[in-house]
Amino acid sequence: MKRTFTLTAIAGLAALALTGSLSAAAAGANIQVKTPLTITVVGKLTSGAGSGTFNLLGASTAESDSGRLTYPAPVESLSRKTPDGLSYVVIQRTEALKGKHGTLVIRSSVRRFDVVKEDDFVSTGTWSIVRGTGRYAGLRGGGALVGITQFATKATNFSDYDFSARYTGLVTRA
């Protein structure tokens, strides 16, 4: 008995074989689950260096933490303009968050825009995890951030600013 196979039948068999091999690979793979992470910070900039406090909200109350935030004076670029003519400066910094459950080091890159007063700024950008200790060891991931910086009303010198920011994103454990 002679059998003939159409092109459609051959393609169907190939797809079935591929599906089976992908299912087997997925079953043996270590699939990492992404969990949400939100960090809020409030602090003061003095001569460019930042310090303050943070609250970290993980996927559950058990994954939450709070503590101190510090970072050295960040690296700033020269002023640039958006296609619409808004002036901004790119700022990159590495921040250390030391909490009750360990230390989390993150790197952020933001566009800082002047707003109504020249001494007030709004920033948007991205962040990513550099390394962690304690409960934060092995975390990978990052996300987006938004923040404001305002000239401190009770400034002791002309380089004192108050800041607040929110970092949101997804993380996995390696």
Q: Where are the domains of the chain?
A: 35-173
Average pLDDT, 10 consecutive residues per value, the chain (174 residues): 46 43 47 90 87 89 88 87 93 95 96 82 96 94 95 65 94 88
Those residues whose C-beta lies under 8 Å from the C-beta of residue 32, and which sit 6 or more positions away, are 172, 173, 174
3-state secondary structure of 100: coil
What gap in Å lies between CA 101 and CA 53, rounded to an integer? Answer: 15
| C-beta neighbour count of 101 within 10 angstroms | 19
Those residues whose C-beta lies under 8 Å from the C-beta of residue 145, and which sit 6 or more positions away, are 108, 110, 123, 124, 125, 126, 127, 165, 166, 167, 168
- The strand pairing partners of 107, in sequence order, are 94, 128
Those residues whose C-beta lies under 8 Å from the C-beta of residue 57, and which sit 6 or more positions away, are 37, 38, 39, 40, 64
How much is the pLDDT for 12? 46
Give the amino acid at 140: R
How much is the pLDDT for 106? 97
What gap in Å lies between CA 136 and CA 63, rounded to an integer? Answer: 10
Those residues whose C-beta lies under 8 Å from the C-beta of residue 107, and which sit 6 or more positions away, are 92, 93, 94, 95, 127, 128, 130
How much is the pLDDT for 27? 46
Quote the Cα angle for 171-43-60, to 5°: 30
Q: Backbone phi, then psi, for 4, in 5-degree steps?
A: -120, 140
